[in-house]
Structure 1
């Protein structure tokens, strides 16, 4: 049963990662009435997040170009997932931003307890 919960938590982490990208894209497309700015921010924002995650965080660091561990990894995750929550908040979606942040915190605590980090 614990193995199932650990696997579910890992899947949740993946969906949270996708949620960050969706949140940043949503923020970008709501940023301005000018469609060039919407396009640039809506596609460029997630592209920057993807680049940062590929460099430092992919696959829990195992697939990253520059893998981070320990406090550096914790800082990356806080910036990454906090950025997703902040993007939702900046787009005027306070409640989803709070829920997103809370789900990330629960996921992170469980990953620490279960040594999935």
Structure 2
């Protein structure tokens, strides 16, 4: 059985691949959590509400645009693997650093470890398919 998507498939079948599917779900959750953490950090940088919203939104938009251009599955530009991993490190790792920046070092460490493990697993799964 060939598990790579064909032209008619957008998502490869997950039957028989529960670890792959679980890691894909985890990766999606990390891709949502990291920008949220970045927004929170940007929001915490000022006292004035308008400036807080502007700073949080600016950091969030920068992360989303960077991800959409270079790391998303349908990214506009597809750099070599090292470039994609660099963007992932900046955005996802930035989310972990943002947690640290808002005063949650233990959560930041956990997020960082989970990001590294999930990304390593994803690349391992990709290289085997």
What TM-score results when the alignment is normalised by the length of structure 2? 0.81
Between Structure 1 and Structure 2, which shows a larger proportion of helix residues?
1
Alpha-carbon RMSD across the aligned residues, in angstroms, is 1.8
Partner of 1:58: helix, strand, or coil?
coil
Match of residue 46, structure 1, among 57, 60, 76: 60
1:48 deviates by 1.0
Residue 9 of structure 1: which of 16, 19, 23 is its match? 23
Structure 1, gaps ≥5 residues long: none
Higher CA-based Rg: 2
Shift of 1:2: 5.6
3-state SS in 2 of match to 1:83: helix
Give the superposition deviation at 1:69.
2.6
Deviation at 1:49, TM superposition (A): 0.6
Report the TM-score, using the length of structure 1 for normalisation: 0.88
Q: Which runs of 4+ in 1 moved over 2 A?
A: none
Structure 2: unaligned runs, 5 residues or longer: 1-14
Deviation at 1:112, TM superposition (A): 2.3
The equivalent of 1:79 in structure 2 is 90
